Structure 1
Amino acid sequence: MTDKHLFTYTFSPLSGAMLHLYLLSMLFFTASSILTIIFPLQAEISGISEGEIGFIMGITMFVCMVLRPWAGQMVAKYSVKTMMQWLLVGHAVTLMIYVLFGIDSIYVVRVLQGVVIAFFSMSMQLGINDMLKNEDRGQGMSMYSLSSVMPSLYGPVLAIWLWQQLDGTYFIACLVVLAMLPLLIYMRTPLPQHQKAWVAFSIRELLGALKETSRHQGLVIASITMIVGATIIGAISTFLPLYMLKFKLGNIAIYLFIQALVVVGSRFILRKRIPSDGHWHPNFIILVLLASIIGTTMLAYGGQLGSFIYLSAIFNGLAFAMLYPTIMTYISFAIPEDKKHLLLGVFLATNDLGFSLGSFVMGIVVQLTSYAMMFIACTIVTCFAIVLVVLKRHID
């Protein structure tokens, strides 16, 4: 496949066209932010067990993980604009299915969400890459990352407010708006239409590349740490609202707002502290993991902490904010250049895998034991990651 209709964009990172793109991203992830809170609450009221709730919430990122390595190929083959059009139609259809059929459609909706998210993130990143000059791409990617995180500031608060409206009219109206508005924003956004030459790969090639990189200790430790960190994020995202509401541990909307504020603020304020020299920095990773340990341990004893439970939102927010960009920056340097087209999507998918495991496995832990034991399990898993990083600290 050769490039068609190839041309160069000269937009600035804060031009009107790019602001449309960031707004599109924010609206897209607003729906996910709201539904991530609403789904477990509705499922519990419907009599679904914690283990099944974990499976339901984890299946989206599992589907995303499976599709991610191939999403880039599809976007390059059919162009960013074409893929964005169809995935936003799919996004609207997904939300409308939930509006029409409610909790009975939750499995279908969660699978479709996984498909749409996999293609949306890849389309946005490739689109930004094409629309900006080389020297502006870093700022553009940073703005995209910020726009995708912003819904975590207001989404949970909006979700709790919608949940408390007894007739459900506002909830349905909100989903309809979030289904239609991204399509309207898309029509005003000049996304790239050209098709690119893309290196296709087979399963055999992918497995061969993974086998080769498995000899690189740094990549192995980074991937395991990523999976552990994402597991904790998945568990907290899925079960924290249920835990706090069930045991009346403070205000869940305030907790999630504090946590999201820390994530957004620290990613901006501490952005220059993230190691970007291509070397493994075990001390920095250990500090981030220690923040996670403090956060999950405090949640485990939430009943004894009272209002101090909000402190755990600060530590969890710091861990969430720093772990992913730190590890992905290292991985982007450590992956062999000739295998990057094969492996970048795979290592990105480790985050999706961890999130899925956090919902799947910790859901079973909750069902068999308790919420407190689940958070203690999160602490133990993170301690394992710290021990691994300490033992393998002299890698590069």
Structure 2
Amino acid sequence: MRGALSWPFMRLYLLTLLYFSANAILNVILPLKGESLGADNTTIGIVMGAYLFTTMLLRPWAGLMIQRYGPIRVLRAILALNGLALILYTFTGLEGYFAARMLQGVCTAFFSMALQLGIIDALPDKDRSQGISMYSLCASMPGIIGPLLAVGMWRAGDGSLFATAMIALAVLTGVVGYSAKMDGKRDEPAAGRTGQAGEMLRSFGQLAKNRPLFRCSVLMLTASLVFGATTTFIPLYAAQIRYGNAALYLMLQAGTVVLARFLLRKRIPSDGKWHPFYMMGIMLSLTAAALCASLSVAGGVLLFYPGAVLMGVAQALLYPSLTSYLTFVLPRESRNVLIGLFIAMADLGVSLGGMLMGPVADLSSYSTMYLICALLGASMIAFVYGRGIRAAPNP
């Protein structure tokens, strides 16, 4: 394969777009459905957080399995399970949604690891960050139209529209996924390489011992908590804001992510060096976005919608920047598993955004909850300065 925009990679990006389209709809439908059934913010947060909490637990194992069997074999096995998860949403209630979220979390752990590691291994170093950015871009593109479709389905009050959408996405994802290809040398089993379960368990210690991995994991965990709180509770919080519209907020956020990742894909660092001021700028954007959300209950849409754009900028740049950096500085023999641990921190953060911030919203308010998110973002600006200003990569 040559180039991040060649046809084989474009097919993988299309698969990514289809796979995450279901979640763009579910992120709006499920909180609204939960509220209509009388669930509090804590319960809604647990249901929504179960998805990526399950993904987080399985990320390192996914990295191990992909290292042993290759990304294509793992990908094809998991697509059938994803179809079952999507169909489960069509005929169950709140308890069934919780089970479906967990099943979908299992699928996403393997799907995203297979796609990302396959792209990383197939691309030359100079194109690596562009490939990761394009994957992330296509994972975010459904967020532009998905919320609008979800609100339309909800207002129509016709469950058959939602069921049809989930079944169609399950079928299309399976068809495209089974025809996808990656670099042939990565499709062969890799059982002979370092990928034993004991090493996977020992790799957890690298979260504390490996300085670049620790730095990136802390940043990703904290930022993802803010992203998770936004995804889970904006559909409910928007109703408290004059002229606030959750679908428009999420569309602006996702549109900014897509636009920034496409226009800036070649400017995301892909040199294996740590850029502290660049990272501080990203965390400043995240902090300002959360603060805008907090103050929107008083300031209205003049703060609410600009906050969506700032959130999108932070989300667009943070993940591909940190992932690209780690692919250079982590030991090659354990890179897949360690990247799995890093991505697990992102999953954990998003799930905690629902599970931890739900009780905070119940005990106080959405405004206070987002103020706490802003304070967490501000603490990461100081963290980057303190740990990054003197830093050089430490493989």
The two structures have a TM-score, normalised by structure 1, of 0.89
Given candidates 384, 389, 394, the residue that maps to 2:384 is 389
Change (3 A) 1:46 1:386: same
Partner of 1:269: 263
Change (3 A) 1:136 1:315: closer
Partner of 1:197: 190
* Whole-angstrom CA distance in 1 between matches of 2:8 and 2:384: 43
> Residues 116-154 of structure 1: CA distance to partner in whole angstroms, max 9, x if unpaired?
101111222344467778877665544333222211111
> Residues 268-304 of structure 1: CA distance to partner in whole angstroms, max 9, x if unpaired?
2223433333232222222111111111111111122
The answer to whether the 8 A contact 1:76-1:195 is kept is no
1:18 is displaced (CA, Å) by 4.1
> Residues 339-360 of structure 1: CA distance to partner in whole angstroms, max 9, x if unpaired?
3243121112111111111111
> Residues 169-211 of structure 1: CA distance to partner in whole angstroms, max 9, x if unpaired?
2112111211212222234444669432143545653454443
Given candidates 50, 63, 84, the residue that maps to 2:75 is 84
Given candidates 38, 57, 72, the residue that maps to 1:66 is 57
* Whole-angstrom CA distance in 1 between matches of 2:114 and 2:143: 21
1:34 is displaced (CA, Å) by 0.7
Q: Where in structure 2 are the equivalents of 1:289-300 lying within 5 Å? A: 289-300=283-294
1:327 is displaced (CA, Å) by 2.0
Partner of 2:252: 258
Partner of 1:231: 225
Unpaired runs of at least 5, structure 2: none
**Percent identity over the alignment?**
36
Partner of 1:313: 308
Q: How many residues align?
A: 387
Partner of 1:332: 327
Task: Please state whether the residue corresponding to 2:91 is helix, strand or coil.
Answer: helix
Letter in 1 for 2:299: L
Say if 2:48 is the partner of 1:52.
no
Letter in 1 for 2:347: D
Letter in 2 for 1:316: M
Task: Please state whether the residue corresponding to 2:156 is helix, strand or coil.
Answer: coil
Higher mean C-alpha displacement, 365-374 vs 192-201: 192-201
* Whole-angstrom CA distance in 2 between matches of 1:14 and 1:341: 23
* Whole-angstrom CA distance in 1 between matches of 2:93 and 2:275: 46
Unpaired runs of at least 5, structure 1: 1-9
1:49 is displaced (CA, Å) by 1.2
* Whole-angstrom CA distance in 2 between matches of 1:342 and 1:82: 18
Say if 2:354 is the partner of 1:364.
no
Change (3 A) 1:208 1:79: closer
* Whole-angstrom CA distance in 2 between matches of 1:218 and 1:137: 18
Change (3 A) 1:48 1:200: farther
Change (3 A) 1:380 1:251: same
Say if 2:335 is the partner of 1:344.
no
Change (3 A) 1:125 1:248: same
Change (3 A) 1:195 1:257: same
The two structures have a TM-score, normalised by structure 2, of 0.89
1:17 is displaced (CA, Å) by 4.7
Change (3 A) 1:291 1:187: closer
Partner of 1:3: none
Partner of 2:349: 354
